[in-house]
Amino acid sequence: MTATISMFSPNLFWDTDETTLDPEKNARFIVERVLSRGRLSDWRVLNRLYENERIKREAMKIRYLDKVTLSFCSSFFNVPKSKFRCYRQPQSIQQLWQY
């Protein structure tokens, strides 16, 4: 069975029209959402949708991953953190604003 966007948790794509998401064109967006906000069940759907090599390739190009997610990806894919774009180009604002 091939996974579809509708199989992910509804909270992942709450701000997006799921019917316009193309798994090929929007792969990085989908991978980023699952890695950053997904559950274990979403990870399983992601693995049915893409091969590990594709997930790794897209994850390495993502602009921002939190430290825990970056560590997970680095360990899971056996790639040094320094190879990830988000590690080489950290966000300029590292903390939330103080209100």
Q: What is the per-residue pLDDT across 12-63, written as a single tens digit (0 to 9) for each? A: 988 888 888 888 999 999 999 999 999 999 999 999 999 999 999 999 999 9
The predicted structure's pLDDT at residue 91: 63
Residue 10 has pLDDT above 60, yes or no: yes
For the chain, first and last CA: distance in Å?
Answer: 48
Task: State whether the Cα torsion 64-60-42-72 is positive or negative.
Answer: negative
Indicate the helix (H) or strand (E) that contains 30: helix 27-37
pTM of the model: 0.82
Which pLDDT does position 21 carry in this prediction? 86
Residue 75: the pLDDT is 95
Q: What's the rounded Cα separation, in Å, for the pair 59 and 30?
A: 10
Whether residue 78 is predicted with pLDDT greater than 70 in this model: the reply is: yes
* More reliable by pLDDT, 90 or 7: 7
Q: Please give the pLDDT value at position 1.
A: 46
Confidence at 87, pLDDT banded by 50, 70, 90: confident
